Structure 1
Amino acid sequence: MNGSANASRPGGTRRAFLRTAIGTSAGTSLGLAAAVGGASPARAAEHGHRRRIPRGGIGMHLYTMRDVLAEDFAGTLERLAKIGYATVGVSGRHGYGAGDIRGMLDATGLRAVLEHVAYTTLTGSGLAGALDDLHTLGARWPVVPSLPGALHTPDGFREAARQFNRIGLASREAGLGPVLFHNHGTDHVVVDGVNLYDVLLAETDPALVAFELDVYWAVKGGADPATYFRRHRHRFPALHVKDMAPDGGFADVGSGTLDFAAMFAHARVGGVRQWLVEHDTPADPFATARNSYAYLAALRY
């Protein structure tokens, strides 16, 4: 596996990176209108929306289930499969190896599509091992879950973009997909006139780097997911589908204020293939899993 920038890149020898910042309009009335409103599946159907999320695209990000996974990893996966989930995003292994988790997934019919791996692991000597583990899991995408706080400056995000291009090239050469970045609200701030998240969109190669957009944190940070989908086509293969309670906290998907029907109307152009449910602090993880799956399975947009 060669992470050199001079190595050949799948899909051609194109070297020109996208350099023009698009200038996503954070916090505009358009963004808020597309992001909030609490539309129900029934309301979407009444307005003539007939598109639905493919059942194979509804997954669970396992961070949601961390407490019950720690008690019974295999049993938790079995219950998720019975609810109807098709895929999972791996986030924390609870002492199991990649091969162990793959065996438990295979036993339930679930499929891992990505794994969250620390930035320091992927930028250091752990990169090759992390990519090997993705193959073992049967997953496609390595995901950087967050960036170190010290990098939250325009120059820091430019350095992260350079690292992402290198990691993405190694991932592609290993036969996997591009590296993805998972956002939080602080990634959407403007520092010295520069929107940090837009630095990553502008200075990474779309063939090597894409994004797992957490729609809750995007909205919390003043951004509009639908605008991202339209302006940066095919760069968002996976989503964290997380709802926002009226007080700004977390909610089961479909019970909060985010208008997912309006948001997902633009998901196809954004390249979305996986809708991964997440709730950071569920009171009852299995209730959250059931409620969120039922909503997404019924949603029309």
Structure 2
Amino acid sequence: MSLPRARFACQTYSWQMSADRFRGTTRHMAQVAADAGFAGFEPEVFMLGADWNARRLDADLASVPIQLAALCLVHDWRGPSESDEERREADAAIDAVAGHPGAVLNLVVMPGADREDLRERQRNALACMREVAQRAADRGVVATFHPNSPAGSVFRTPDDYELLLDELPEPLGFTPDVGHIAKGGMDPIALVRRTSDRIRHVHIKDIHSDGGWAATGEGVLDIPAIVATLDDVGYRGWIAFEDESPLAERDPDEAVRRTGAYVRRSLITVTEETP
């Protein structure tokens, strides 16, 4: 398999599991990701720190240097329209991404404590994200929705995904996270093929057969086959890797380094061009 290195990015969730230590250390996280061989970086807004701004983010990335692949924004979006605070934070994220051609705004609904009032919560989340996506599109920014799989997630089961794919509004894209898809009882490769025309970003993390998160390449997912499928369906955007394994909880820097080594070893064939 010969794939361009620039397609692979590092997401910050490995550090988020130790947020008290790493929140606000954007330059450190970006440097570890770059040293691990990743060309792209996807921070979650929360991990940038309470006083983050677009100028500081740009300076941190330029100092490494590494490209912004995506900025991940997580909100409840429980109402039928964005709250004032949700709108302010979304607009700040849009402003930050607008300065980085090719980067996307990756939207995630915060899992709740339960799935009560599920249909209303699903409808409201999609309506709020549609508002964000439209404002983003007006700025030339692609916004895309990343479902997840904790017990209180509003889009986690096959039935949820059927509804999502029927009602995913334009101009909102779709971010398949293959680990969450598998944990929800679905086939990631089949879903990638089915949704290829709406995919705007991708997350990859590995999973054990019992549903626990695995270090990248040590679980049951056939990651090379998933990446090959993305290539086959014509996907040319960023593929962001996460590691949520016990190793990442203990030592996120090492987990990222190991993930980068896996990507170089298993997903990239380096070839020299002849004159």
Q: Which residue of 2 aligns with 1:175?
A: 140
* Sequence identity (%): 20
Bigger CA drift: 253-262 or 154-163? 154-163
- Kindly provide the amino acid, as one letter, of the partner of residue 219 in structure 2: G
Superposed displacement of residue 128, structure 1: 4.8
Return closer, same or farther for 1:71/1:147 CA change in 2, 3 Å cut-off: closer
Give me the whole-angstrom Cα distance separating, in 1, the residues matched to 2:132 and 2:25: 33
Q: In structure 1, what is the equivalent of residue 58 of structure 2?
A: 102
- Once structures 1 and 2 are overlaid, which stretch shifts more, 126-135 or 211-220? 126-135
User: Which residue in the other structure is 1:17 paired with?
Assistant: none
Deviation at 1:108, TM superposition (A): 0.7
* 2:272 counterpart residue number: none
Is 1:75 the counterpart of 2:2? The answer is no
Query: What per-residue deviation string (whole Å, max 9, x for no partner) do you get for residues 149-169 of structure 1?
Result: 456623432333333333221
Q: How does 1:196-207 map to 2 (within 5 A)?
A: 196-205=160-169, 207=170
Q: Which residue of 2 aligns with 1:130?
A: 90
The answer to which of 218-227 and 66-75 deviates more is: 66-75
Structure 2: how far apart are the matches of 1:176 and 1:270? 20
How far is the alpha carbon of 1:297 from its aligned partner? 2.3
Q: Determine helix, strand or coil for the equivalent of 1:233.
A: coil
* 2-structure distance, mates of 1:84, 1:59: 9
Give the SS at the match of 1:117: strand
Q: How much has 1:105 moved relative to structure 2? A: 0.9
Tell me, what secondary structure is at the counterpart of 2:34?
Answer: helix
Mean Cα displacement is larger for which, 233-242 or 155-164?
Answer: 155-164
Moved over 6 A (4+): none
CA RMSD in angstroms comes to: 2.7
> Could you say which structure has the larger radius of gyration?
1
Aligned to 1:271: 235
CA contact (8 A) 1:230 1:270 kept: no
* Aligned with 2:127 (options 162, 168, 171): 162
Matches of residues 203-282 of structure 1 in structure 2 within 5 Å? 203-205=167-169, 207-268=170-231, 269=233, 271=235, 273-280=237-244, 281=246, 282=248
Matched, 1:118 2:65: no
Q: CA deviation at 1:51?
A: 4.0
The residue type equivalent to 1:298 in the other structure is R
Distance 1:152 1:238 in 2: 29
Question: Which residue does 1:37 correspond to in 2?
Answer: none
**1:240–1:277 CA contact under 8 A, matched in 2:** yes
Look up the SS of the partner of 1:59 in the other structure: strand
Aligned-residue offset at 1:222: 0.3
Alignment of 1:49-68 (within 5 A): 50-52=1-3, 54-66=4-16, 67=18
User: Is the deviation greater in 164-173 or in 153-162?
Assistant: 153-162
Q: Could you list the runs of 5+ residues in structure 1 that have no partner in the other structure?
A: 1-49
Distance 1:135 1:86, change over 3 A: farther
Report which structure shows greater RCO (CA 8 Å, sep ≥6). Answer: 1
What letter matches 2:126 in structure 1?
A
Whether the 8 Å contact between 1:238 and 1:272 is mirrored in structure 2 is no
Taking structure 1 as reference, are residues 141 and 152 closer, same or farther at Cα in structure 2, changes over 3 Å only?
Answer: farther
Which residue in 2 is equivalent to 1:292? 259
Post-superposition CA distance 1:236-293 (Å, at most 9, x none): 2222211113543122211222111222232132736222121235122122111111
TM-score with structure 2 setting the length: 0.78
Judge which range, 271-280 or 114-123, deviates more: 114-123
> 1:189 is matched with which residue?
157
Structure 2: any 5+ residue segments left out of the alignment? 269-275
Alpha-carbon distance between aligned partners in 2 of 1:208 and 1:162, rounded to the nearest angstrom: 12
Deviates more, 1:64-73 or 1:227-236: 64-73
Relative to structure 1, is the Cα distance of residues 202 and 271 closer, same or farther in structure 2, using a 3 angstrom cutoff? Answer: farther
Give the 3-state SS of the residue equivalent to 2:197 in structure 1.
Answer: coil
User: What TM-score, normalized by structure 1, do the two folds share?
Assistant: 0.71
